[in-house]
Amino acid sequence: MHGLRFVRYADDYNIFVASKRAGERVMESVIHFVEGKLKLRVNRDKSAVDRPWNRKFLGFSFLSKKDATIRLAPKTISRFKERVRELTDRTKSMSMEERISRQTAT
């Protein structure tokens, strides 16, 4: 779209522009295109014009404005820790190999 850089995954998009004003202009243009031409609905509650480090995308976000370092979003880390706790429950005595084989079987 008009030489813009964007990231797409399924029905999720991030579009990167130089300024907030440009972001607002592009947002209206994208909404008009998606809803008008593609006949899809844009979830305006989830849509925003913001800095990349203030948003998350697929469980990731940028660490800061100076570095392009990515980080896992806090909710993603919480889900990961909960899953590890489930898999390593101390009340279920079994070897690590058995735990792994049970998980790969499901």
User: What is the rounded CA–CA span in Å between residue 28 and residue 81?
Assistant: 39
For residue 6, being part of any structural domain is answered with yes
For residue 29, being part of any structural domain is answered with yes
For residue 17, being part of any structural domain is answered with yes
For residue 28, being part of any structural domain is answered with yes
What predicted TM-score, i.e. pTM, was given to this entire model?
A: 0.51
Burial 45-59 (b: 16+ CB within 10 A, else e): eeeebeebbeebeee
Kindly report, residue by residue over 16-47, the tens digit of the pLDDT. Answer: 888 999 999 999 998 998 889 888 888 888 88
Backbone phi, psi, residue 83, to 5°: -65, -40
For residue 15, being part of any structural domain is answered with yes
Parent domain of 46: 1-57
For residue 83, being part of any structural domain is answered with no
For residue 13, being part of any structural domain is answered with yes
Kindly report, residue by residue over 67-103, the tens digit of the pLDDT. Answer: 667 777 788 889 889 888 887 877 878 787 887 787 7
Total tally of structural domains belonging to the chain? 1
